[in-house]
Amino acid sequence: MTVVRQYKLPNCTLSLEGLSDATGTVDSSPARAPLTVLVNAECRFANRPEPLSGGLEFFDSLVSAVNTYVRQWMSGIEQPIRPAGGQPQAVELMAIENGLHRLLVRSPETAPDPVRVDLTTVQLFDLVEAIDQCFADATTLPGRSLALSPLPRRHARAEVPLARRAAPAAVGVSGLAAAAALFFMLPVPETRRPAEVNPGVSEGIEPQVDPENGAAAPPDLEVETEPEPEVEPPSSEELAAALEDSQEITDPDRLAALGQQLSEDLYNERDEAAAIPSPLSYRVTVGADGAILGYRPDNEAARNNAEATPLPDLRFVPAEGGRATTEAFADFKVVFEPNGAIEIAPWHGYSEAPSPPPEITDSETIARLEADLRETITAEWTGDPIFDRDLEYRLGVTEDGTIAEVEPLSDTASVYYGELPLEDLHRSEAALSREDDIVVRVPLAQYRVVFTPQGYLETSPWRGR
């Protein structure tokens, strides 16, 4: 018996016509009889009078093209378009300019020119939904499933440069950017894409700033084809030789400022997800301006796991290669703890205790900054606290009102830190400045700030009024 099934969405109607192998089924009324043999599939778009249609091969090819394309489009990861020399698929989908999606359907009747349908994203979604409803329907082609599955790593990695050239899709843009950073150094393989595919889009993203390492990708491809000479960071021996003539910084205040700068850099650049199996200890040499000149592992674990730390990325290599020259330097012991903490202390300790951080003591300034501080925090705090007890912090504020230091005064305060506007307002880099390429600490006014579960904000100068 002939059975017809229709899946109707605002922009797309999918009709399947087939036969029912009713033998053995208890309920054989036409409405419930399973469509087991597909004879004809028809796909009609609202803005296009003539439908696309074909037999089982067309239907299978349509489903497979849609599944692959939608997955790629959502993830931003592309896979090879098709093996070189392989037969073109009966149905293909590709991204074109203006955020449209091009559906190409080949059949013996249409050969050699495929039928072309350009879809908006909403139209594409309706096609996907019609397919999904069809597969969710147990009485249509029972025993078949969508079999959605991701692309294995191996394929994805090989294709990243290609993906980078195409329109970055969906959230994949961030993943792509990260991957682009990895692949930027590799020669870009020759990849051929059909000429009509998004000519404008690739232009748009090519010269983008590579967000993972902040380096601007050269807009000029000529530069890319000429392999850059490998810049070797200085070995520890070279570094030791270079430092022999230099002067080690021993002034406790300068050491404190450099330690703070180092901590700032390491915390900002670490990868929170990197696994640190056991404490990794390094001797890190920094210049007077805070740049990391080199580092040496100080234990076995550190030797094997440097990649888990931001040190390799942060090591300063002069643009012209070779090694950094410096007149003054300081050594620090840096320990990366498995719990994510980073311990930093001068390698030779402090000759005497560094003076306390410079402080703003003028009472008028303190009062003015407190008023500003209340205003800034209140403007950003939307209330609706999710904590159930008072959260207390010490804040250090620069003369221009920037919150440069935040110290939670309890465990609870540190747990909920991220839910408060403090984190948004906190600019730890403001606690340091560079004068003549020397890192110095900036004077701060200190306050005690309390956030209450009722949504109130209490502030007071740290040393009382």
Partner 1 sequence: MQSTRPPTDTPPAPLILDRLPDFPVPKGVCPRRMRMQIDLILLAIEALDVTAAPVILKFVDQLQLQTLIPNRVALWQLRSTNPLRRFSQRRALSLEEAKALVMLAHHLCKRLTVAVRQLAIDYDRARSQNIPLDKEPRLAYYLKRFRTHFRSRMNPRRSLTAYYSNDEKLNELASRLLLQLLFCTGTNGAQRLWVALLDGEILDTEIRD
Residues that bind partner 1 (CB under 8 A): 70-72, 74-75, 77, 98-100, 120-122, 125, 128-129, 132-133, 135-136, 146, 148-157, 169-175, 177-178, 209, 211-214, 268, 271-273, 339-340, 380, 386, 417-419, 421, 423-424, 428-429
Least distance (Å) from partner 1 to the CB of residue 231? 20
Identify which of residues 21 and 271 has a Cβ nearer to partner 1 in the complex.
Answer: 271
Identify which of residues 101 and 323 has a Cβ nearer to partner 1 in the complex.
Answer: 101
Identify which of residues 215 and 240 has a Cβ nearer to partner 1 in the complex.
Answer: 215
CA of 28: how far to CAs of 2, 23, 138, 143, 349, in Å? Answer: 12, 9, 14, 18, 88
Q: Which of 303, 282, 275, 302 is nearest to 345 (CA)?
A: 282
Identify which of residues 18 and 172 has a Cβ nearer to partner 1 in the complex.
Answer: 172
Looking at residue 398, its amino acid is: T
Identify which of residues 175 and 443 has a Cβ nearer to partner 1 in the complex.
Answer: 175
Q: What is the layout of strands, in order, in the sheet containing 91-95?
A: 91-95, 101-105, 115-119
Least distance (Å) from partner 1 to the CB of residue 83? 17
Identify which of residues 158 and 367 has a Cβ nearer to partner 1 in the complex.
Answer: 158
Q: Report the half-sphere exposure of 394 (CA within 13 A, side-chain side).
A: 9
Least distance (Å) from partner 1 to the CB of residue 382? 9
Identify which of residues 271 and 300 has a Cβ nearer to partner 1 in the complex.
Answer: 271
CA of 310: how far to CAs of 57, 106, 247, 288, 321, in Å? Answer: 52, 52, 26, 20, 20
Least distance (Å) from partner 1 to the CB of residue 360? 24
The neighbour count for residue 204, using CB atoms within 10 Å, is 12
Identify which of residues 124 and 243 has a Cβ nearer to partner 1 in the complex.
Answer: 124
Identify which of residues 21 and 380 has a Cβ nearer to partner 1 in the complex.
Answer: 380
Least distance (Å) from partner 1 to the CB of residue 80? 13
Phi, psi (rounded to 5 degrees) for 185: -75, -20
Least distance (Å) from partner 1 to the CB of residue 86? 20
Q: Report the half-sphere exposure of 145 (CA within 13 A, side-chain side).
A: 3
Identify which of residues 243 and 314 has a Cβ nearer to partner 1 in the complex.
Answer: 314
Least distance (Å) from partner 1 to the CB of residue 266? 12
CA distance 122 to 100: 10
Least distance (Å) from partner 1 to the CB of residue 20? 23
**How many residues in total does the chain contain?**
465
Kind plus residue range of the DSSP H or E element containing 113: none
The answer, yes or no, to whether the previous bond of 443 is cis (omega within 30 of 0) is no
Is-contact 210 185, C-beta < 8 A? no
CA distance 25 to 41: 24
Q: Which of 115, 340, 346, 162 is nearest to 251 (CA)?
A: 346
Q: What is the layout of strands, in order, in the sheet containing 403-408?
A: 403-408, 391-397, 445-451, 457-461
Least distance (Å) from partner 1 to the CB of residue 271? 7
Least distance (Å) from partner 1 to the CB of residue 32? 20
Strands 247-248 and 328-336, how do they pair? parallel
DSSP 376-424: HHHHH-------SS-EEEEEEE-TTS-EEEEEESSHHHHHSGGGSHHHH
Q: How far is CA 359 from the centre of its chain?
A: 38
CA distance 464 to 169: 55
Bridge-partner residues for 449, per DSSP? 393, 459
Is-contact 343 309, C-beta < 8 A? no
Identify which of residues 368 and 394 has a Cβ nearer to partner 1 in the complex.
Answer: 394
Q: Which of 185, 168, 167, 186 is nearest to 177 (CA)?
A: 168
Least distance (Å) from partner 1 to the CB of residue 417? 6
Identify which of residues 288 and 439 has a Cβ nearer to partner 1 in the complex.
Answer: 439
Least distance (Å) from partner 1 to the CB of residue 288? 23
